[in-house]
Structure 1
């Protein structure tokens, strides 16, 4: 069964990814965490929690936000990796990452 992950930016621009089981099967949960940890650090993302605890949803949102629409549009390979790793961590059939509203819906 295919999964759909959609990343939406505030201007209405959407990037939709269809993931089949093979796209996420080869990624372990630890590997997905490490991918987001690395991207989060490289982008110098800021923790949205006042106590400094960063949840998986915070990392997924902030990596999308700090990467920006241009990276999703201009680097298809990176965008697909983002979708694969987010899909593995969230493990839902339909996910909507709404960057403009800082929310993730299922």
Structure 2
């Protein structure tokens, strides 16, 4: 094994071989967005045909250790996908403060 801050070329080659032989985990790991997309049809059926509320669906998913916010579930139901783009606030023009005292001097 390497000691301190130095490694041999043999150690690096061995590490490279081991890393290159690790399996591809991409098919096994599904992102939160991917999971919601995958469950979308079922969530829509529950909400629109079976009378479940967003809170009911969240509770059922929580029991299965799928932690999604009510906002994310609502986004799926409302076809927004849970990712609404916010409009930036329009900057209000700065109000010039004038006191009655200043205007009397002029």
TM score, norm. by length of structure 1: 0.30
Which one has a larger percent strand, Structure 1 or Structure 2? 1
Larger radius of gyration: 2
